[in-house]
Structure 1
Amino acid sequence: MYSDNLVHIWITLLGRPANKIASLLVENYGSLREAYLVKSYTDVTCEIRNNRLLCQRLMDESIKDRAARIYERVLEKGVKITHVFREDYPEDLKNIFDPPFVLYYYGKLPDKNTTLLSVVGSRKCSAYGRKVTYDMCFNIAKHGVGIVSGMAKGIDARAHVGCLDANGYTIAVLGGGPDNIYPLENEVIYYRIKENGLVLSEYPPGTMPLKHHFPARNRIIAGLGKGLLVCEAGKKSGAMITVNFAINEGRDIFSVPGNIDSSYSEGCNSLIKAGACIATSFIDVLEGLNLIEGRKIAGTVGWLNGLDKEEAMVADLIYKGVKIEDICSKTGLDSARVVAITTILEVKGILGRDRHGNLHVVI
């Protein structure tokens, strides 16, 4: 049994970085197929012989047997494959440090014209974080931007669902094989993404989601997006690993501010202090990615659609020029609730602030 996919799987088993190994083999044998057909030491070139470990692995038939078993499982599970030399391999990912040599996936790879935004945050998150993430990703997806995340519980899950509910395109980058649903509580989300987006992994089908896989997969999440949005994360959150990858790859970092007394928001607030773009609305992200022009003050017909009763009431009063302190007396809401509502309205893109910090309605 021989195929190009089998050979590319075999390359990933020879060592890392697989891209450099593949290039070295092509230089020495003219093609990966010819390298795969090497059987004995006499067939090994002098340059490869100087790399003792690679030389041994090149002739190791057990590695080819393992590649064949993986390929059989790929066929059995209906998993698709692309590799770094193919045109359909995501261009932005191809250009990162140590891009995955092979990608296993279900669904549809992004086309060249799709703009992607990576979204991360903590598994343990607040109700505020979940709502902000959903609203941000829903509205960003409505503007044609795809959402990339890791399908973990918490922020990741809300990012995917927000995008899917907006009929958008979303990519789940897994820490196990593409056929391994993890965590199981996100099974419904997994199948929605598989049907309408892309389930992606550098690990072959059947691979369990081991702990050390997740930091490695974070480079893929960071690499796929034009920018990275951190919705809610503590200082020691795994999301901060993805931030470091994104910074190293020159991606724009957007951070949603949170309660200064909440440990859930320590990471986001520290990123803002360090110079990340503050994201109080999805419009901040779209502007930062140069996808829309600046905001316009407005009160257009239908702009209250989709808001709950309290949100619509507060937004309408702000549009009419009522001050925050007077909104409490007019609505019967306490000040803390009004502040919470205005923050949510900013995230939804209903409210913005002028250069003096005053709230106004935007489109």
Structure 2
Amino acid sequence: MSELLEERDNLNLMEELVSGDAVSVNISELSRILGKHRNTIKNKVDAILEHKIIDPPIYPFHGLYRVYPLLAVVYLDIPDGKEYTEGIIKWIKEDPQIFAAYRTRQGEYDTLLFTYHENITAYQLWMSTVPSILQINYGVPEDQANFESSTAYFSNQLMIKYNPSTGINLIERDFKEKGGLKLRGYELDELDLDILRCLVNGMGIKTNNTLLCEKTGLHRKTIEKRIEALQQEGILGAPVCRFPNFFVPPNYLLTYVLIQFKQLDEKVLNELIIDTSIPIAIQTIHGKFNMLLFGNHSSLDEHLRWEEGYRTMFPDSFCSAQITYLSPEMTIYFNQQTVSLCYIRSRLGETKGVDLGRTIRQLEKARARVLYNFPKGKS
């Protein structure tokens, strides 16, 4: 872990930046870049944000993948019964390790969770506390708080591609092919596309240093130096606007794909890196598969054409694929910022009220250290 994350002043700064409280769209800069009147740009930006095409700007916490190098993808079978399901869904949306959840049907499982953890031990301790947390914090009866699960583990350290903004290319492609595009009830035009491309790539965004000075008590120059250090260390990225579902554009289909490539050579890797349908790719060893891809597609047919394209390009290398389709209607929850902010606030030691879930986890970690002789801080 970087020493910069040990300093409280840095953590206070990060909370304001990662939450977006000290970040906003720079209407004047967008007006200058796009050569349009300020009021025209402001009205467009307001409409785009109001229709949730993108979220307001934030500083992305890239260090999250270093503090949580384990991606655990969990299939669950949630018990039937509305009175119990509501409590479980509330837990999913509030748990500090879960960044996305979908309804799905995979064998005997009906729910898919994407979670971040320090290591496998931390994941298993987390899972072991879930029944107690559901009972104590969410009122789920004991017989409904235990459910079967199946987990796949992936290393965030083996990520070969990370480009959450690549979905803008699909939006532009579909706009041109269809002669127009409506997202979440909003009819896009050329200027909207120009604004979206700017914002998802970090152009036309400003940081409120005055607010940061007030919140942290630091001098403006000190703040600028600390932000620069956090960015140089790879802890924070440049400020950007993200799609509400992180790397998935509104109305688009998310695919969770495990692929077996016979040869993961430079040609295959380069194609994945430039592929506008793939925002995230992770090398892995999972059964016979050696690549995990998160994909964005406008429809099932479009994904099938994408897959056939790879089979044609790499006939001797593309062996097999295991695909899970996750549509917007299947989304339970998708908010990576929650995980980022929970981590930062936990480092600051901020708690609101009595967090019984956190208390249970701490007790489980202490018990594990005693039972398995883990050194403190390693469980």
- When normalised by structure 2's length, the TM-score is 0.22
- When normalised by structure 1's length, the TM-score is 0.23
Which structure has more RCO (C-alpha within 8 Å, separation ≥ 6)? 2
- Give the greater-gyration-radius structure (CA): 1
